[in-house]
Amino acid sequence: MNPKAKSIDEYLGKVDPRQRAELERIRALVKELVPSAEEAISYSMPTLKYKNRALVYFTASKKHMSFMPSSWAIEELKDKLKDYKTTEHSIQFTLENPLPDVLIKELVLNHVRHIDADRQ
């Protein structure tokens, strides 16, 4: 993504339209779950912040998209993520195998609980 986007809208404007629609769905769902979430670009990625901390990042790559809630949420929900490639910090998904709303909700609310508990 060159030059670097300064806003989520600018970032998404450079993404393939089908991936953009999927990332917009995720963005809207997270903002519905956490209305106080603030939009930012952090580490060159679209970021939604909660209580001044990164709540989730989401990105598009050529062959997949990534959703990054927190390593704690990924670890705690790893049994529900078996159908996705995961790393310590991210979940990779495709248009053919998107993240369901219910799973995004669990991941986001899990991370909200950790932030509320001031877990570092």
Strand partners, 53: 50
pLDDT at 2 over 60: no
8-116 classified as CATH 3.30.200.20 = no
Domains of the chain, residue spans: 8-116
Mean pLDDT of 102-113: 96
Sign, Cα dihedral of 6, 120, 116, 84: positive
pLDDT at 56 over 70: yes
- Taking the C-alpha atoms of residue 60 and residue 47, their distance in angstroms, rounded to an integer, is 13
